[in-house]
Amino acid sequence: MSSSSKVSIVVDSAASLPAEFRELPDLYVVPMSLQMNGKVFLDGVDMSPTDFYRAQRGSSSITSTSSPSAAAFAEAFADAADTGNDILCITVASRFSSSADSARAGARETAASLPDTRIEVLESGTAAGGEALVALEAWRAAQSGKSLDDVMAATSEVISRVRLLAYLDTLYYLWKGGRVPGIAHLATSLLRLKPLFELREGEVSNLARPRTRRRAATRLMKLMKERVEGDEVHVTVIHADAADEAERLRQEVGRAFTCVELFVSEFTPVMGTHTGPGMLGIAFWSR
More confident residue, 71 or 272: 71
pLDDT at 151 over 80: yes
Q: Which of 233, 213, 114 is nearest to 162 (CA)?
A: 233
Work out the average pLDDT over 142-153. Answer: 96
Q: Are 21 and 266 in contact (CB under 8 A)?
A: no
Q: Taking the CA atoms of 275, 190, 38 and 104 in sequence, report the sign of the dihedral they define.
A: positive
CA distance 99 to 30: 10
Q: How distant, in Å, are the alpha carbons of 32, 36, 129, 180, 228 from that of 66?
A: 6, 12, 19, 20, 34
7-160 matches 163-286 in fold:
no
Q: How far apart are CA 116 and CA 81, in angstroms?
A: 9
Is 97 in contact with 11 (CB distance < 8 Å)?
A: no
Fold (topology level) of 7-160: Rossmann fold (3.40.50)
The per-residue pLDDT of the chain, averaged, comes to 88
Q: Between residues 2 and 221, which one has the greater pLDDT?
A: 221
Among 142-146, 258-262, 275-279, the least confident range: 275-279
What is the rounded distance in angstroms from the CA atom of residue 96 to the CA atom of residue 203? 10
pLDDT for 174-204, tens place per residue?
Answer: 766 655 554 444 445 556 788 899 999 888 8
Length of the chain: 287
Residue from 78, 94, 54 nearest 241 by CA: 54
pLDDT of residue 139: 97
pLDDT in tens, 102-131: 999 999 999 999 999 999 999 999 999 999
The dihedrals phi and psi of 116, each to the nearest 5 degrees, come to -100, 5
Q: State the pTM of this model.
A: 0.90
Question: What secondary structure letter does DSSP report for 202?
Answer: T
Q: What is the DSSP letter of 235?
A: E
Domain locations in the chain as residue ranges = 7-160, 163-286
Q: Convert the pLDDT of each residue in 17-69 to its tens digit.
A: 988 888 899 999 999 988 887 888 888 788 788 888 888 887 777 778 889 99
Q: How confident is the model at residue 252 (pLDDT cuts 50, 70, 90)?
A: very high
Q: How many CA atoms lie within 13 A of 131 on its CB side?
A: 31
pLDDT greater than 90 at residue 144: yes
Confidence of residue 253 (pLDDT cuts 50, 70, 90): very high
Rounded Cα gap, residues 156 and 277, in angstroms: 31
- Residue 41 one-letter amino acid: F
Domain 163-286 fold: Hypothetical Protein Tm841; Chain: A;domain 3 (3.30.1180)
Closest CA to 195 of 178, 176, 177, 220: 220
Q: HSE-up of 218 (CA within 13 Å, CB side)? A: 7
Cβ atoms of residues 73 and 120 within 8 Å: no
- Residue 84 makes CB contacts below 8 A (sequence gap 6+) with 5, 6, 7, 8, 26, 142
